[in-house]
Structure 1
Amino acid sequence: MPTVTARHPLEILRHTFGYAAFRAPQEEVIHTLMADRDALVLMPTGGGKSLCYQIPAIARTGTGVVVSPLIALMEDQVTTLRQAGVAAAALNSSALPAAARAIEETLLRGTLDLLYIAPERLLQDRTLSLLQRVTVNLFAIDEAHCVSQWGHDFRPEYLQLRVLHERFPQVPRIALTATADPKTRAEIIERLALQKAAIFTRSFDRPNIRYHIHSGSQGARNALLRFIRDRHTGEAGIVYCLSRKRVEEIAEWLQGEGLDALPYHAGLGADERRRHQQRFQRDEAVVMVATIAFGMGIDKPNVRFVAHLNLPRSIEAYYQETGRAGRDGMPAEAWMHYGLQDVVQLRQMIQQSGTDMPRKQMESHKLDAMLALCETTHCRRQTLLAYFGEHLSQPCGNCDNCLQPPATWDATVAAQKALSTIHRTGQRFGVQYLVDVLIARAEPRIHQNGHDRLSVYGIGQELSANAWRAVFRHLLLRGLVEVDAEGHGGLRLSSSSRPLLRGEETLTLRQQESVTPKSRDKRPDLAPQDATLWEALRQHRRALALAQGVPPYAIFHDATLMEMLQRRPRDLRALATVPGIGERKLAAYGASFLKILLR
């Protein structure tokens, strides 16, 4: 039976969340749910997906049930909603029995607007029976790409969420994701029985994020340190690494360099992970060094940069991870430094995995697409969006390739020399050995193998060792050579290398570039008096947050503070027009912030 509308969505948007108007396609999505129709929403991180289900859940009689895969994400959303005066709670494994019973009693009384729940708990017979005793006004399936067995973040429990359609056929459902290529979208529709759902797609572009991607086998640490110190001092960021060991090493090294850096990976104890995550969310300038285990549940809006010290396995993973930056819409950066060893390691991981051949081929194609993004000499954003089926007609002007078009060189002869060296040495040696042969490095192993007597020995002395590693990386990228997964990472020729060896094809590569981005449009430069006021507003927000034990952004986002700074409201009526200040926050914090603004 359709639920009754209690409040108008626009009224809730303005009075509860403090925004004057919807962003497309929020209003259309909300009206779809209010009409008891299903919806599939494909919208970038920071695009306002949450309001698409939060507002109709508040507007209608009953409770909206939100399926979310991560505890941290649920708790963060609940904290933020409660600050806005919304009755919200989360049921997950972190809830003590007494607290869980209290939440269930509130649910049964019908006084809960939103209930966040993990898929594992939702699927229990006891939970489904409980929900059948109350008025559920919608189901929201967040991070819906987790249903895809071919995707980068598969969760087996998501395959069973079709039961919601079977057990609650009259309750509208909304599935939401920020990362889904056309194949994943089709899989979401099929597995969640959303064939009749209205589909809403917003551009995947995040124009406020500036992309920088650099390659090389050396200098990654110092380049990262320069990047943070020169461009993000005193700001929050995430540094992703491939292994737990490297996470620990980089976090310790950054700490030694005077940065407030914390490690995060699955090998840490649950309490330590929780402490580090809470510090990252509640402090302004913490750098979290993490494996990909960290990030999806983070709703911190003022992450100013995301850095990768290793190559992600797919564009979906890269987009998901870089999407943690700049959720507040203010300028942010995605910086990456990767090396040849990343390519070799990921190729080996795919080939040595226990999955079937179709899965290996799919993962190889995804890695190829990621490498194509890294090595392109054209606009990064155009390449990134094209992967998701979106066309950007003009270069973005906000990536490294647009800002500093890369120089290129004819690498045909160099590639032929590299391929010949692989062949002449028996197609069983790794990159470093092959480079040593090319530049005639005095290595005992080369002499022992008799390779110092080959015609290819020393034929590459016109290039540096780093330049040769870049050549081999490109040969791997283009599928001209392969990694021998059965051996020890040796390279062998692929059939596609023959046209290049015969001179029937040419190869143009980008020259090795500097790893320090040069310019950035940060926040507008502040006059001294404005900078003082900006810090005063931030410090007051921090004090309020510490007193309540919530993250500062749960009080106000940076974007809201910047609006205060620029508008300089003189009374509560004017302050109420600042985006992000709803009625409850105005009553709770308005007077104290006005005192600072009126000094």
Structure 2
Amino acid sequence: MSQRSGKRSNLTKTGLKRLLRNRFGLNEFRPGQEEVIQNVLRGIDTLAVMPTGAGKSLCYQLSSLALPGMTVVISPLIALMDDQAKKLESHGVDIAVLNSTKNRLDEMQALNEIAEEKNEIIFLTPERLQTPEVLKHLSNILIDILVIDEAHCISQWGHDFRPAFLEIPYVLKSLGNPPILALTATATEEVAQDICTQLGRPQMKVINASVYRPNLHFSVKQVSKESEKMEELERILQNVKGSIIIYTATVKAAEAVYGHLQQANYPVQIYHGRMRSEQRRQAQEQFMTLSNNIMVATNAFGLGIDKPDVRAVIHYQMPSSVEAYYQEAGRAGRDDQIAKCILLFNHNDRRIQNFFLAGQYITPSDIQQLWQTLVESATSFKTVSELAKYVKKLPSIKVRVVFKALRDEGFVKVERGKYVLLQKKLSDDDAVGLAENYNKRYENDRIKLEQLISYAFNARCRWLNIVEYFGETFNLTNCGTCDNCMNPPIAVKESDAVTIPKLQSSLKKSKFELGQKVKVRKYGEGSITAIAGEIVTITFLDGVNRSFLSSSIKSY
């Protein structure tokens, strides 16, 4: 239990239900909600793993009304917090919102309200949490709960890892070490354990509601070429009545699908990370307010989107893992009515996910480069974002990850907004060790992709595969609603059933060697400095490190 000076609530079950009815118009708690709320009211650090539509947000919303201080909610997406803030305001809850869309006048007003403790709930992004001005205001108020929404984003083993979340544990002391409520729709046992570890609360109580949602009907459509996939998509659209989300893995594919459907006169919107924020806001607003509408989007769309009447989620390209697939597919059927979750599976789409894997991993050279920047001018930067702008040869995501690795291993710390070096030097062996420890994630991600492919080819009940993947026991013989249950492709004996494989190492030996001279089209010649399975990192003549799939590299 976290150390607090604030008085906790002693509301009875009857009192909680009265509050639920009077403030939110609900008569009963959903499975898991009451247990989570009781933990929060007692000041117990809690990780709640509850599927989309299970009412995770209510767990902190109701708790905040029963406690004397403020609830701080850290949310990864501005659209997500705006959506939740509007709903809370409609229930008469006083809220404050701090994010990059607010002008200086609005931000000052919000900070003044926080200083005067006028709010019950404060929403902010992890980036805003790190700013000295915001930290100063939050450190002077009574915080009953620190809520971390979409908590899987803090796990390096999660499907949606976001380095900005790694800064959260380092500000907890400044906030008085409040109790934590971490929320996520999906987490394997490994990810759940890593969330607790990353937050520095290894003894967190984990409450795991079942992932099974019987109203979701899963199926996989096997296709062998792009034209066949588009034809299958149109067949599905003609047979589904209601709102639909179509997910693609790339912006290029999203724009192609959007263009095709627009030409065919479908009521369609598009949403991806390269659009301007105002364009994204308008697209989301139209999708949320209209019925029988179609949203074509990358995974930039969807976190926390509460549209109850989505009748189908279609994956036009495979995502990176079973976790990512379930999280996105779970945005269908939030009204508990029947909804379809369909994967259009072309095995060649695997190359797209392999390409994404290639750009995510750090090398000893990356570590040394950032270390040298810190040695030369550590006192010049107040945030990791400022540091990332200065290290021009490293993407900002790598800067954040490398900095986290250096801090975790005791090479650097943050003190009063400045970076302080704790070691005089970083040896080559140190850099190699740090890179190897982090890059274990590559093997994990590669196997998770194989697990999704196994799901697509599997002849067993789709729900049975999903439930077992998340470590649960399925209490039914089969769901009776997925494509494999309705139309079994083959007769599968239980003794011969193929399950989704567990994580295990199976990397093939690379055909390349460290130090080998190679060529890459567009970038020219370079030397191999790191190899992780199919991912090869090369230092080019301009001094920049780049990572590629081995199939795109030529030796000479």
TM-score w.r.t. the length of structure 2 is 0.71
The answer for the alignment partner of 1:296 in structure 2 is 303
Q: Distance in 1 between matches of 2:173 and 2:469?
A: 34
**One-letter amino acid of the structure 1 residue matched with residue 219 of structure 2:** H
The answer for the alignment partner of 1:486 in structure 2 is 550
1:224 aligns to 2:197 (yes or no): no
The answer for the alignment partner of 1:57 in structure 2 is 64
Superposition deviation, residue 485 in structure 1 = 4.5
Q: Distance in 2 between matches of 1:49 and 1:297?
A: 10
CA deviation string 1:104-149 (max 9, x = no partner)? 2222332311111101111222212101222222111111111112
Match of 1:152 among 152, 159, 166: 159
The answer for the alignment partner of 1:105 in structure 2 is 112
The answer for the alignment partner of 2:445 in structure 1 is 363
Superposition deviation, residue 328 in structure 1 = 2.4
Superposition deviation, residue 247 in structure 1 = 1.1
CA 1:114 to 1:372, structure 2 compared with 1: closer, same or farther past 3 Å? same
Task: Please say if residues 2 and 170 of structure 1, whose CA atoms lie closer than 8 Å, have aligned partners that are also in contact.
Answer: no
Match of 1:383 among 456, 465, 471: 465
Task: Please say if residues 303 and 325 of structure 1, whose CA atoms lie closer than 8 Å, have aligned partners that are also in contact.
Answer: yes
Q: Distance in 1 between matches of 2:270 and 2:46?
A: 38
RMSD, matched Cα: 2.5
Superposition deviation, residue 353 in structure 1 = 6.3
Identify the range of structure 1 (156-165 vs 175-184) with the bigger mean alpha-carbon deviation.
Answer: 156-165
Structure with the larger helix share: 1
**One-letter amino acid of the structure 2 residue matched with residue 486 of structure 1:** S
1:21 aligns to 2:25 (yes or no): no
Q: Distance in 1 between matches of 2:119 and 2:105?
A: 17
| Gaps in structure 1 of 5+ consecutive residues | 410-427, 429-483, 491-599
Q: Secondary structure at the match of 1:162?
A: helix
Q: Distance in 2 between matches of 1:85 and 1:373?
A: 45
1:340 aligns to 2:347 (yes or no): yes
1:41 aligns to 2:48 (yes or no): yes
Task: Please say if residues 86 and 113 of structure 1, whose CA atoms lie closer than 8 Å, have aligned partners that are also in contact.
Answer: yes
Match of 1:406 among 474, 484, 489: 489
The answer for the alignment partner of 2:6 in structure 1 is 2
The answer for the alignment partner of 1:257 in structure 2 is 264
| Gaps in structure 2 of 5+ consecutive residues | 363-435, 493-510, 512-547
Superposition deviation, residue 407 in structure 1 = 3.7
The count of aligned residue pairs is 416
Structure with the larger strand share: 2
Q: Distance in 2 between matches of 1:398 and 1:96?
A: 50
Task: Please say if residues 71 and 297 of structure 1, whose CA atoms lie closer than 8 Å, have aligned partners that are also in contact.
Answer: no
1:73 aligns to 2:80 (yes or no): yes
Task: Please say if residues 240 and 312 of structure 2, whose CA atoms lie closer than 8 Å, have aligned partners that are also in contact.
Answer: no
Task: Please say if residues 138 and 175 of structure 2, whose CA atoms lie closer than 8 Å, have aligned partners that are also in contact.
Answer: no
The answer for the alignment partner of 1:276 in structure 2 is 283
Percent identity over paired residues: 34
The answer for the alignment partner of 2:212 in structure 1 is 205
- Describe how 1:156-235 pairs up with structure 2 within 5 A: 156-169=163-176, 171-218=178-225, 219-232=228-241, 235=242
Q: Distance in 2 between matches of 1:42 and 1:24?
A: 12
Task: Please say if residues 152 and 161 of structure 2, whose CA atoms lie closer than 8 Å, have aligned partners that are also in contact.
Answer: yes
The answer for the alignment partner of 2:90 in structure 1 is 83
Superposition deviation, residue 253 in structure 1 = 1.3
**One-letter amino acid of the structure 2 residue matched with residue 189 of structure 1:** C
Q: Distance in 1 between matches of 2:462 and 2:154?
A: 28
**One-letter amino acid of the structure 1 residue matched with residue 550 of structure 2:** E
The answer for the alignment partner of 1:559 in structure 2 is none
Q: Distance in 2 between matches of 1:344 and 1:124?
A: 39
The answer for the alignment partner of 2:18 in structure 1 is 11
**One-letter amino acid of the structure 2 residue matched with residue 300 of structure 1:** K
Superposition deviation, residue 350 in structure 1 = 3.9
Superposition deviation, residue 17 in structure 1 = 1.0
Q: Distance in 1 between matches of 2:232 and 2:100?
A: 40
CA deviation string 1:490-549 (max 9, x = no partner)? 9xxxxxxxxxxxxxxxxxxxxxxxxxxxxxxxxxxxxxxxxxxxxxxxxxxxxxxxxxxx
Task: Please say if residues 130 and 171 of structure 2, whose CA atoms lie closer than 8 Å, have aligned partners that are also in contact.
Answer: no
- Describe how 1:305-320 pairs up with structure 2 within 5 A: 305-320=312-327
Q: Distance in 2 between matches of 1:350 and 1:161?
A: 25
Superposition deviation, residue 100 in structure 1 = 1.6
CA 1:135 to 1:344, structure 2 compared with 1: closer, same or farther past 3 Å? closer
Identify the range of structure 1 (309-318 vs 240-249) with the bigger mean alpha-carbon deviation.
Answer: 240-249
Match of 1:395 among 466, 470, 478: 478
Task: Please say if residues 10 and 41 of structure 2, whose CA atoms lie closer than 8 Å, have aligned partners that are also in contact.
Answer: no
TM-score w.r.t. the length of structure 1 is 0.66
